[in-house]
Structure 1
Amino acid sequence: MLIELLGREMHNYLISQEELERFKGFLEKRGIKVEKFYSKGTTSLIFLGKWRNKEVIIKLERPDTPRKNLQKEANILRVLKGHEISPLLIDYGMFENREFLVREFAIGKPLLYTTPEKDHLLQILEETYKLDLLRIDHGQIQGGKHIIIGDRVWIIDFEKASLRRKPKNVTTAMAMIFLNNNVISKRVREKFKINPMFLETLRKELKQYKETKNIEKIKELLCSL
């Protein structure tokens, strides 16, 4: 039973077997099949499923969520459609007074748990640059969990993103990957044998980027790795 994967506490508190079955039936009528529980987020329960033979992520708002974010995420995913930054939004709506969102599954591993290749680094630069141009500030780039590394790069989970904050996706991503002291930067520095001159040049170019919004010098630097 699907609910067994949620655990007894979640069964009793976050969703009942009966409600889960109703949710599965509700989505099946929309062409979406719930297959298994995936994880528990701060604001939603997350399931894996299928839509037209494609793997999808299904988010269902938790009844105890401190905030409603899925509509905002759905709106941002609509803005991103065609930009090849985040997986495609499949569906969004309400189920028994709870928000739900369905999007295509991003195949790969979070940057936090893997070491990127040079092509990945260039894709991260390009995609964060696109976000800056679209004036969307992701808000959680710095943790490395929302950049997915696979055959290509995806940026996911825009629940805390904003169209009002000043976007700083490029500077945040580059600082996380190269300049800050964390497990990601340590792996990248070791893999590419990055020296202090490279880091100092990157700092200078990021400072210039804040003024010019031109990534060409940063791109040239990454291409030199």
Structure 2
Amino acid sequence: MFDHLIPERIRKELLRELSGLGIEALKPYSKGTTSVVFLGKLGEKRVIVKLQRPDSPRDNFRREAEILEAISPFGISPPLIARGRIGNLSYLVREFAEGEPILYAELKKRHLFQIAEKTALLDRLYLDHGQIQGGKHIIIGGDVYIIDFEKANWRKPNNLTSAMAMIFIGRNAISERVYKSFNLGEDFREAMKSALRVYKREGKLSAVLDVLATL
């Protein structure tokens, strides 16, 4: 699948290095503009291996790995397992986030609270994910995880507001499903807008949690 993107020498070196870490059964998973992604196994756990594409215009993997290490104590994203370089290409390995992207998942009340709490925690860490509203980077399963910090940076954050706007304020496939599932109306949308204004002005997460509690 990735043969035309990754030279054979690089593939063999990557397999050798990952094997030394105990990672096996590597298979192609997805590709982006800057990376190719493999799925593998480490014992009983599934892992994601992200390798920089040789034709990538930038290498964001070092920063992403540093970000994952910094937030690892908080359970926001699956833990980083390893990082390194094969030749001049960076790679990182993290545990696989079991579940479905929010774009496709059926959301329960507990998921919505977890999303609010974890995005607010990112805000308090002053780490802006940068792609929350895309609908592909919040994974819903036994836990809620936020993944792919490739474009994240330490800057003025907008994580919780972006997440709540995607789920409750905007009119999209996610919000339509949530409004139907919880039988919500415009009064809820206005209440969430008001709570987000309080959050942006005063930093009070409780304003948002109080609205979620009415679900």
Asked if Structure 1 and Structure 2 have the same fold, meaning a TM-score greater than 0.5 normalized by the shorter chain, the answer is yes
Residue 107 in structure 1 maps to residue 125 in structure 2: no
Question: Could you say which residue in structure 2 is the equivalent of 1:140?
Answer: 131
Alignment partner for residue 3 of structure 2, among 11, 18, 21?
A: 11
Structure 1: unaligned runs, 5 residues or longer: 1-5
Tell me, in whole angstroms, the C-alpha distance in 1 between the residues paired with 2:171 and 2:16.
47
Where does structure 1 differ by over 3 angstroms across 4 or more consecutive aligned residues? none
Name the amino acid aligned to 2:19: E
Question: Could you say which residue in structure 1 is the equivalent of 2:178?
Answer: 188
The alpha-carbon deviation at position 41 of structure 1 amounts to: 1.6
Name the amino acid aligned to 2:132: I
Residue 120 in structure 1 maps to residue 111 in structure 2: yes
Is the contact between residue 195 and residue 211 of structure 2 (CA under 8 Å) also seen in structure 1? no
Is the contact between residue 196 and residue 207 of structure 2 (CA under 8 Å) also seen in structure 1? no
Question: Could you say which residue in structure 1 is the equivalent of 2:150?
Answer: 159
Question: Deviations for 1:24-70, whole angstroms, at most 9, x for unmatched residues?
Answer: 01211233225211011221110011224311000010011121111
Structure 2: unaligned runs, 5 residues or longer: none
Name the SS of the counterpart of 2:81 in structure 1. Answer: strand
Question: Deviations for 1:155-183, whole angstroms, at most 9, x for unmatched residues?
Answer: 000000010x2101010000000111111
TM-score by length of 1: 0.92
The alpha-carbon deviation at position 76 of structure 1 amounts to: 0.6
Tell me, in whole angstroms, the C-alpha distance in 1 between the residues paired with 2:139 and 2:48.
14
Tell me, in whole angstroms, the C-alpha distance in 2 between the residues paired with 1:212 and 1:153.
26
RMSD: 1.2
Q: Percent identity?
A: 49
Tell me, in whole angstroms, the C-alpha distance in 2 between the residues paired with 1:18 and 1:73.
25
Is the contact between residue 62 and residue 90 of structure 2 (CA under 8 Å) also seen in structure 1? yes
Question: Could you say which residue in structure 2 is the equivalent of 1:3?
Answer: none
Question: Could you say which residue in structure 2 is the equivalent of 1:44?
Answer: 35
TM-score by length of 2: 0.96
Is the contact between residue 90 and residue 102 of structure 1 (CA under 8 Å) also seen in structure 2? yes
Residue 208 in structure 1 maps to residue 198 in structure 2: yes
